Each structure stands twice: as structure tokens, then as C-alpha cells.
Amino acid sequence: MTKTRSTEDVYTKINAAYQIIEKKWMCTIICSLMKEPKRFSEINSKIPELSNRMLTERVKELEDIGIVFRQVITDRPIRTEYSLTQKGQDLGKAIKPIQDWAKHWL
């Protein structure tokens, strides 16, 4: 039996999704932004084990793939906030059952 093109496309997309969420801290960062936008320091305080360098790297990756939106707010003092795009919100909803499972079983 041969795979159809659409089956291969689905596997490719699933694999791409796992490549995003399997990176250390990605799910944790996404979950931290589910309820409301946060400044860099707020994300960092929620995840104290995460270094500033790694947080910067991961947020940039999430921004590049359209999961996180970075907004510079020009009020005084100038600040930057990060929020989830619709794509990010949908991914966060998909991660939530895993988060619930981890709280219960790990």
C-alpha cells in the first residue's frame, strides 16, 4: 500500500509541529502567555530556570514562525510586550491537555 500525497502532507505538518514544541522551554513560554501579554521580565520571573539568553532566543524563534507577537509600547517608560497570535493561542489550547496530564501524573 502506498501513501497518498495528503497523508504525507499530514505527517510532514505533524512532524513540523513537534519540532516546535519539542524544543526546551517552548511550551512553557507559550503557556505563560495564554492569559495575557507579558513583558520579557514577567515571562522570565514565571520561569526562573530559564536564562535571559535562552528566553531571548526562544521568543525570537516563536516570533519568526508567527506564534508570538512582539509589540513595542511607546508610552513612558517605553516597554516591549509579548503576546500570542491566533496561531499561538490555538497551539496553547493544544498544549493544555498535556499540561493537565503532567500536573496529574508527573
What tens-digit pLDDT sequence spans the chain (106 residues)?
456 678 889 999 999 999 999 999 999 999 999 999 999 999 999 999 999 999 999 999 999 999 999 999 999 999 999 999 999 999 999 999 999 999 999 9
Q: Which domain holds residue 43?
A: 5-105
Task: Give the pLDDT score at 51.
Answer: 96
pTM of the model as a whole: 0.87
Write the DSSP symbol of residue 3.
P
The span from the CA of 81 to the CA of 73, in Å, is 7
Q: Which residues contact 51 (CB under 8 A, 6 or more apart)?
A: none
Task: Give the pLDDT score at 3.
Answer: 60
Give the CATH number of the domain where residue 86 resides.
1.10.10.10
Task: Give the pLDDT score at 7.
Answer: 84
From the list 97, 98, 87, the residue with the least C-alpha distance to 33 is 87
- Count of structural domains within the chain: 1
